[in-house]
Amino acid sequence: MATLLHLEASARRRSISREVGEAFAASWRAAHPGGTYLHRDLALDPVPFIGEAWTELCDHILANTITEIDRYKEAVRTPAQAEAWAVVEPLLNELVAADVVLISTPMYNYSIPASLKAWLDQVTFPKMSLAGRRFVVATARGGSYSPGAPKARFDYQERFLRDFFAGHFAVEDTTFINAELANSRLDPALAHLRTAHDASLAAALQAAHDLGKDF
Ligand SMILES: Cc1cc2nc3c(=O)[nH]c(=O)nc-3n(C[C@H](O)[C@H](O)[C@H](O)COP(=O)(O)O)c2cc1C
């Protein structure tokens, strides 16, 4: 049975990245009527930052060459580590259960929100592999970072996530759906880009709908 894990990271409810991600999720659910849909709102219900006990789990896993995810709990040796593991385990279980991981995220400060980084820190262990799973990222950005745009080189959101999933999860082919120029809705100096934003959002919603059927 197919499983979709959908993570959301925008600090606001009326959010463009949520809208695009929801278009993908709705389309995926329609195409997989018997599928399992797991949803986690990282902004509304944030996961804690990793602490010292988490680093002890990670160090033990590395030092003992534990590469199978279902063996990670062998690293738990103290009450503090058990507490840290109690946070990690449900997050990892959801991730491992998923065939498709959908992340709806805004660009914050050229990168990702701290809520999403906190989740990545919790679920990422040395030499783990999630190969075979498909990752889709629905983003919203205030500006444009498309090839040729003056600020293209400042895009540490797509670059970071693409490289992170390849380097840490062995997932090489993350799909990005980017809705750009959202600040044209607010910033009078960018008002002339509103039509381009509307087109970018419409294209993102269409891509999300189309991809949701295929994943
Ligand atoms: C804290 C914060 C930082 C932001 N940093 C950037 C940025 O570096 N570059 C950019 O293009 N837009 C930036 N924006 C604008 C957001 O990317 C834009 O509002 C986007 O639509 C947010 O996604 P959402 O609609 O899903 O909430 C920032 C917004 C906030 C609230």
The domain spans of the chain are: 3-50+96-117+130-214
Closest ligand 1 atom to residue 145 Cα is 11
- What's the gap in Å between 169 CA and the centre of ligand 1? 26
pTM of the shown model: 0.97
Q: Which amino acid residue places its CA nearest to atom 3 of ligand 1?
A: 108
Residue 17 CB–ligand 1 contact under 6 Å: yes
- Give the span between the Cα atoms of 184 and 201, in whole angstroms: 12
Q: Which CATH architecture has domain 3-50+96-117+130-214?
A: 3-Layer(aba) Sandwich (3.40)
pLDDT exceeding 70 applies to what percent of the chain? 100
Pocket-testing residue among 103, 108, 194, ligand 1, by greatest number of atoms within 8 A of Cβ: 108
Position 1 scores a pLDDT of 81
Average confidence (pLDDT) over 38-57: 98
**Neighbouring residues of 152: CB distance < 8 A, sequence distance ≥ 6:** 144, 145, 146
3-class SS of residue 155: coil
DSSP 78: S
Each residue of 126-182: pLDDT tens digit?
999 999 999 999 999 999 999 999 999 999 999 999 999 999 999 999 999 999 999
Tell me the sheet residues that pair with 134: 100
- Among 168, 203, 173, 41, which residue's Cα sits nearest to residue 116? 41
CB 129 within 8 A of CB 31: no
Residue 110 CB–ligand 1 contact under 6 Å: yes
- Give the span between the Cα atoms of 104 and 10, in whole angstroms: 8
- Among 25, 23, 37, 21, which residue's Cα sits nearest to residue 138? 21
